[in-house]
């Protein structure tokens, strides 16, 4: 059973202690109407063509917005013709609602819509010059790569280069060394190619891509 309290008390005596009409609507009818008008305008702006809802992920800096609009209280926002004091009230209600929800003192508001989860950014990386085994992923803060986490995200190690005969270069080198020994030549490996870097994945003839 959930520990989150309902929005309104279920006990009859407790409900009487929350007079929504006499303690809210009758106190601030015009102010609440302006807040409702702002909700409609915001929905038309951020969620055009959709049923009215509070898209929670689109603007969350309520405290900063409250102070910004409070500084312009008593004036009208020229962008939409709505008073800054209305926006103070809207942001204060949003801040309180989300605070109550976070504390477990209220369920998620009926018109609230939480943002969808975004895929974790994953970088196809290698560590210490060796490729990560297939299926291992590394989650990093990389805004340039957004790939959903899943199996086999890390690249497979490259296959060793092959000769024209289809043999890998280390097999070809071993065959050449055996042939040199067979005719009495010193099995000294040939010098590395100009592209040799001596690393674990060097593909030159001497290192055989190993």
Q: Tell me the pLDDT of the chain (210 aa) as tens digits.
A: 466 778 888 888 888 999 999 999 999 999 999 999 999 999 999 889 999 999 998 889 999 999 999 999 999 999 999 999 999 999 999 999 999 999 999 999 999 999 876 655 544 443 333 444 444 444 444 444 444 444 444 444 455 555 455 555 566 667 767 776 777 766 555 555 555 555 555 555 555 544
Query: Do both 109 and 16 map to the same domain?
Result: yes
Give the length of the chain. Answer: 210
Q: Are residues 148 and 169 in the same domain?
A: no
Q: Which domain holds residue 208?
A: 159-210
Count structural domains, the chain: 3
Last residue of a domain, one of 98, 113, 128: 113
Whole-angstrom Cα distance, residue 210 to residue 204?
9
CA 84 vs. chain centroid, Å, equals 32
Q: Tell me which of 84, 113, 142 is where a domain ends.
A: 113
For residues 168 and 186, what is the distance between their CA atoms, to the nearest angstrom?
A: 22
Say if CB 33 and CB 45 are below 8 A apart: no
Task: State pTM to two decimals.
Answer: 0.55
Residue 3 lies in a domain: no
Q: Which two tokens stand for residue 141?
A: 């803060």
**Does any domain span residue 7?**
no
Q: Token pair of 149, please? A: 């986490």
Residue 128 shares a structural domain with residue 97:
no
Asked whether residue 169 is assigned to any structural domain, the reply reads yes
d(CA 93, CA 95): 5
Residues 20 and 104 occupy one common structural domain: yes
Same-domain check for residues 153 and 163: no
Using CA atoms, how far apart are residues 107 and 97, in angstroms rounded to an integer?
9
Residue 2 lies in a domain: no
Q: Which of 113, 141, 172 is the last residue of a domain?
A: 113
The confidence score (pLDDT) of residue 46 equals 87
Flag whether 203 is in a domain. yes
Please state whether 208 falls in left (phi above 0), alpha (psi between -120 and 50) or beta: left
Give domain status of residue 181, yes or no: yes
Q: Report the pLDDT value the prediction gives residue 174, as an integer from 0 to 100.
A: 72
Please check whether residues 142 and 79 belong to one and the same domain.
no
Q: Copy the structure tokens of residue 207.
A: 């290192």
Same domain flag for 145 and 90 = no
Domain assignment of residue 102, yes or no: yes
Same domain, 57 and 131: no
Tokens of 196: 């040799």
Residues 126 and 105 in one domain: no
- Tell me the pLDDT tens digit for each residue of 153-198: 444 445 555 545 555 556 666 776 777 677 776 655 555 555 555 5
The reply to whether 128 and 175 lie within a common domain is no
Q: Are residues 133 and 106 in the same domain?
A: no
Would residue 6 count as lying in a domain? no
Mean of the per-residue pLDDT values for the chain? 75
């Amino acid at each position: 059973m959930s520990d989150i309290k309902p929005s309104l008390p279920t006990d009859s005596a407790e409900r009487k202690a929350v007079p929504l009409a006499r303690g809210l609507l009758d106190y601030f009818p015009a102010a609440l109407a302006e807040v409702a008008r702002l909700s409609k305008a915001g929905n038309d702006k951020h969620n055009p063509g959709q049923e009215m809802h509070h898209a929670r992920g689109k603007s969350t800096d309520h405290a900063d917005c409250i102070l910004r609009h409070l500084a312009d209280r008593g004036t009208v926002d020229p962008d939409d013709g709505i008073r800054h004091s209305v926006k103070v009230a809207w942001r204060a209600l949003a801040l309180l609602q989300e605070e109550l929800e976070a504390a477990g003192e209220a369920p998620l508001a009926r018109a609230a819509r939480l943002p969808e989860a975004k895929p974790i950014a994953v970088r196809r990386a290698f560590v210490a010059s060796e490729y990560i085994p297939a299926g291992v992923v590394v989650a990093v803060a990389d805004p340039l790569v957004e790939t959903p986490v899943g199996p086999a995200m890390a690249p497979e190690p490259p296959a060793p280069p092959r000769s024209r005969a289809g043999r890998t270069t280390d097999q070809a080198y071993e065959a050449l060394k055996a042939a040199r020994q067979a005719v009495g030549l010193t099995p000294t490996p040939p010098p590395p190619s100009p592209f040799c870097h001596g690393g674990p994945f060097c593909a030159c003839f001497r290192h055989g891509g190993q």
